[in-house]
Amino acid sequence: MTQIYQASCTAPVNIATLKYWGKRDTKLNLPTNSSISVTLSQDDLRTLTTASCSSSFEQDTLYLNGEPHPIDTPRTLACLADLRSLRAALESKDDKLPKLSTFKLRIVSENNFPTAAGLASSAAGFAALISAIAKLYELPQNSSELSMIARKGSGSACRSLFGGYVAWEMGELEDGSDSKAVEVAPVNHWPEMQALICVVCDVKKDVSSTSGMQLTVATSDLFQERIKNVVPKRFIEMKKSIVDKDFAKFAELTIKDSNSFHSCCLDSYPPIFYMNDTSKKIIKLVNLLNEAAGKIIAAYTFDAGPNAVIYYLKENENQVLGLFNKVFGHLEGWEKAESLKSKFEILEKFPI
């Protein structure tokens, strides 16, 4: 019987607080701006991927959530080619190593949260795919090096190679060799930080992140202003707010950047709407909460979808969760008036 080699990895979701939106190179997935995110705990929203290979496999295959999923897309193929060539380099130096780089791959992946619904499934998905194959191939590359491969699969995936607070430095080189993820601070730097995930709607979005950002780059004037005059300064300020554990500043920048990103979506032509009426109610609620507290105790952010992530500090948990529960917990059927597809669940609160 031919031997089957196998390795498994999980990768968590990361939620950007300074958004990546726009590519300067679509082939290499090079961004128009640097971004920052918080990686959630491995115990919460995560992808689990198993990669196996064998001389008996006839083609590369990918199963996602129990269904066959295309693997022959340019971006996935680019990731596989990079990983195989790193493995081939090891094999060329050591004759005893099995020639895994020449075997076909069988990849089985599962997300424990909604896929393609604006909860960063492409981030956790590609980070887990790259990590599982790197483990299978016993590659010596570090997280930053692997992040450059994950980036080619999905930009946001490069940041899920690290835990805690992560920056994706956009880089300036044409070959993308300086466009990688780096750690801003480990998770235990700011253990008081909490994230509440509000799943407003778990159905697949109608405009993927990839096509949405392409449209914004091509048509939005506001976007030009964002990448030239807004994000570069915000990138420096947000990193500092994390290092200083300055929640009020971090929250203000996070809120403003979510607003700026969704404004660019609206300014695209034709406009893109990722947030819905429930999302807007969440924004109002967070504003009311902060007003009542007399300081910023909660920050909302929305990715390319209607679902909210609320960042807050443990010391304010009763206030934040209390109000969310009061407002949304007793309003059964309220969402249905807006859209039959839409549902609101404060699923859980996830400590980061």
Positions 203 through 222 that interact with ligand ADP (CB under 6 A) = 208-209
Contacts of 34 (CB under 8 A, 6+ apart): 18, 167, 168, 169, 170, 231, 232, 235
Nearer to ligand ADP by Cβ, of 46 and 239: the residue is 46
Tokens of 333: 């059927």
- Find the binding residues for ligand ADP in span 287-316 (CB under 6 A): 303-305
The single residue among 9, 11, 12, 20 that binds ligand DP6, judged by CB under 6 A, is 20
Is 279 a binding residue for ligand ADP by CB under 6 A? The answer is: no
Binding site residues, Co ion, CB under 5 A: 122, 209
Stretch that binds ligand DP6, among 48-56, 90-98, 131-139, 150-158 (CB under 6 A): 150-158
171 makes contact with ligand DP6 (CB under 6 A): no
Give the nearer residue to ligand DP6 in terms of CB position, either 100 or 303.
Answer: 303
Dihedral of alpha carbons 247, 248, 253, 259, sign? positive
Binding string to ligand DP6 for residues 274 to 303, with x set by CB under 6 A, is what?
-----------------------------x
Which one, 52 or 122, has the nearer CB to ligand DP6? 122
- 39 scored as a contact of ligand DP6 (CB under 6 A): no
| Residue (136 or 213) nearer to ligand DP6, CB | 213
Minimum separation from the CB atom of position 29 to ligand DP6 (A): 5
- Contact between 111 and ligand DP6 per CB under 6 A: no
Q: Does 122 sit near ligand ADP (CB under 6 A)? A: yes
Q: Which is nearer to ligand DP6, 88 or 185 (CB)?
A: 185
Write out the chain in H/E/C secondary structure.
CCCCEEEEEEEECEEEEECCCCEEECCCCEECCCEEEEECCCCCCEEEEEEEEECCCCCCEEEECCEEECCCCHHHHHHHHHHHHHHHHHHHHCCCCCCHHHCEEEEEEEECCCCCCCCCHHHHHHHHHHHHHHHHCCCCCCHHHHHHHHHHHCHHHHHHHCCCEEEEECCCCCCCCCCEEEEEECHHHCCCEEEEEEECCCCCCCCCHHHHHHHHHHHCHHHHHHHHHHHHHHHHHHHHHHHCCCHHHHHHHHHHHHHHHHHHHHHCCCCCCCCCHHHHHHHHHHHHHHHHHCCCCEEEEECCCCCEEEEEEHHHHHHHHHHHHHHHHCCCCHHHHHCCCCCCEEEEEEEC
Least distance in Å: CB of 46 to Co ion?
15
- Cβ nearer to Co ion, comparing 33 with 209: 209
- Any contact of residue 210 with ligand DP6 (CB under 6 A)? yes
Taking CB under 6 A as the rule, does residue 160 contact ligand DP6?
Answer: no
Which residues neighbour 243 within 8 Å (Cβ) at sequence distance 6 or greater? 184, 185
The answer to whether 165 contacts ligand DP6 (rule: CB under 6 A) is: no
Scanning 61-69, 148-156, 277-285, 340-348 for contacts with ligand DP6 by CB under 6 A, the matching segment is: 148-156
Interface residues with ligand ADP (CB under 6 A)?
47, 64, 109, 111, 115-123, 125, 129, 154, 208-209, 303-305
Interface residues with ligand DP6 (CB under 6 A)?
16, 19-21, 29, 35, 120, 122, 154-156, 209-210, 303-304
